Chain A
């Protein structure tokens, strides 16, 4: 049973470009979470999704960031017009149920904006 798969592992974008980060949850998991870890900080919650629905996006920046989890395919975190401050590690987690219970994390995507 494969774990949470994220790709790419590393992504380099120039300022102003778009970044698309993908996350395939563990088999049987329908709840997906995205977290961001800035250098020297802990993980910060961004958004919680179930299939085709955004449940909680209280941690998402108001502009340039969006997330989706379509009926078919992986969850996508999209960052438009990236800036240097977006450079971070972005982690996806999945769980079979919501409620903040044990979530399994992917290996992360390290975004570098140059």
Chain B
């Protein structure tokens, strides 16, 4: 049962344009969402997070949008840079209200930013 889904295994974007990575979830108990970036042979690196009481969080070039009614979140990267090329994982937890401590990850989207 895949509770966090990233339906696009890959995405290719030109440098300078916007990258939009999508994530859907099924568990209505999730109340905290995170995006991680991962390079080959390295561990995931935290990018940005959002709690369920918000619908948008922005940090520099990265913005995460949360649509609770649709159980959907997205990560926008603008402008995209070649160094952004990596696998992006969406993750969720029910830690804020449910007391859960584990993150449930999606399967990842490979972003390639081309020159």
Residues of A within 8 A of B (CB): 4, 6, 31, 33, 35, 40-45, 48, 55-56, 58-59, 91, 93, 98-108, 110
Contact = CB atoms under 8 A, between A and B. Distances in A.
A59 B102 contact: yes
A45 B102 contact: yes
Contacts, number: 77
Contacts of B44: 43, 91, 105
A98 B95 contact: yes
Contact of B101 (A4, A91, A99, A102): A99
B95 A102 contact: no
Q: How many interface residues does chain B have, given as a range?
A: 20 to 34
Contacts of B25: none
- 4 residue pairs, one from A and one from B, having the closest CB atoms: A100-B93, A100-B95, A99-B95, A105-B43
B107 A41 contact: yes
A103 B44 CA distance: 10
B49 A33 contact: no
Contact of A43 (B49, B89, B101): B89
Given A106-B43, A108-B42, A100 B107 contact: no
Given A43-B89, A108-B43, A99 B103 contact: no
B106 A42 contact: yes
Contacts of B43: 4, 6, 91, 93, 105-108
Contacts of A45: 102-104
Contacts of A100: 32, 93-96, 100-103
A42 B89 contact: yes
Contacts of B104: 45
Given A40-B107, A59-B102, A98-B101, 20 more contacts: A33-B101, A33-B102, A35-B103, A41-B107, A42-B6, A43-B89, A43-B103, A44-B105, A98-B95, A99-B100, A100-B32, A100-B94, A100-B96, A100-B103, A101-B49, A101-B93, A102-B34, A103-B46, A103-B103, A107-B43
A21 to B, nearest CB: 13
